[in-house]
Amino acid sequence: MKRAYKERFYPTEQQTELLAKSFGCARFVWNNTLKHRTDAYYERGESIAHSVLEKRLVPLKAEFEWLKEVSSVIFQQCLRDQQEAFKNFWDKRTKYPRFKSKHDRQSIRLTKAAFHYNDGQLFIAKSKEPLNVRWSRNLSSEPSSITISKDRAGRYFVSMLCEFESKPMPVTAKTVGIDLGLNNLFITDDGIKIDNPRHTKRYENKLAYLQRKLVKKKKGSKNRDKIRQKVARLHAKIADSRLDNLHKLSRKLINENQVICVESLAVKNMIRNPKLAKHIADASWGEFIRQLKYKAEWAGRTIAEIDRFFPSSKRCSSCGFVHESMPLNIRNWTCPECKTLQDRDINAAMNIRTVGLAGLV
């Protein structure tokens, strides 16, 4: 299996300048190539092959001499990433590729021709000093490729793709069904309710204050850039807190259960609801399920997904009676058939577990 190890690093002044040039050149090649492909299609109905675009790099570097100041591997990987973006677009998995902005997250990808790893030190092309990486763990193997990124808060990260051998965890007889929610992040079939931390709501007043200050600053001024950095750092803090909580919860579920039954939710469709969009995004259901899936694969566990249209909340887990409708404000209800008092969320988790396990037989 392959696994990415992401670590933070602190570049020197020379490396900061080199990375700034690398990010800028990669962004230029991406945008220039994207414009070239788009114009060719709309003007001549032509779809340009990837091999043609690779050959186009030679005259492009001759026209813009400053492109030669960084490794050419960056441009080759940039074109491969764009080709993959178009493939996803043609397969209707994503939208049309967008132009990149210098104000967004910056990143470059390097193969072994542009970096080398030796005894815990990582060197990149055009730099004589190793990156000052704050290692939190040992790599499972020598990286096959690395991605260097800079977020909007000004932090630098390196993600290293390595081969590793997963070790299945001891088999346990415990299974669980979980129902995702907003008041509680998720509820298990045995009645355990995990609170939703609501990280965005926790910092929304401070965020609103900083954003009000930001819009009052003159565009292009140093004061505006200082406030923009504060806003970016606060957004990064919210995102890091959310991810940390999700990693801890997903790891606990994987460690304790052999089979985890979940509902396959169309989060992209649900987030279109203007009243719930912010709360659904803050709960980050999609990221939580993603973490469960890859951790289950590593640990030899099973994730059983049930159909999103299964009436888990409207169906009585005791007798199987199904209500025609059940608004979100109804949190407890009594089954008209068996007279059982049901907690909406626990009942849904029990149904999800039952159907999920049945699908594995």
**Mean pLDDT, all residues of the chain:** 93
**230 CB-contact burial (10 Å; exposed 0-12 / middle 13-18 / buried 19+):** middle
Catalytic residue among 54, 179, 240, 297: 179
With bands split at pLDDT 50, 70 and 90, how would you rate the model's confidence at 81? very high
DSSP string computed for 170-213: PP---EEEEEE-SSEEEEETTS-EEE---HHHHHHHHHHHHHHH
Catalytic residue among 54, 151, 337, 345: 345
With bands split at pLDDT 50, 70 and 90, how would you rate the model's confidence at 339? confident
Q: State mean pLDDT over 153-182.
A: 93
Q: Can you give the pLDDT at residue 361?
A: 67
**Rounded CA separation 178/260 (Å):** 8
Q: State mean pLDDT over 322-338.
A: 87
240 is catalytic: no
Closest CA to 279 of 188, 178, 183: 183
Q: Can you give the pLDDT at residue 359?
A: 85
179 is catalytic: yes
Catalytic residue among 91, 263, 297, 337: 263
345 is catalytic: yes
pLDDT digits (tens, 9 = 90+) for 86-114: 999 999 989 999 999 998 999 999 999 99
Most confident listed range (116-120, 208-212, 279-283): 208-212
Q: Can you give the pLDDT at residue 265?
A: 86
pLDDT of 337 over the 90 cut: no
Half-sphere exposure of 46 (CA within 13 A, CB side): 11
Q: Can you give the pLDDT at residue 350?
A: 93
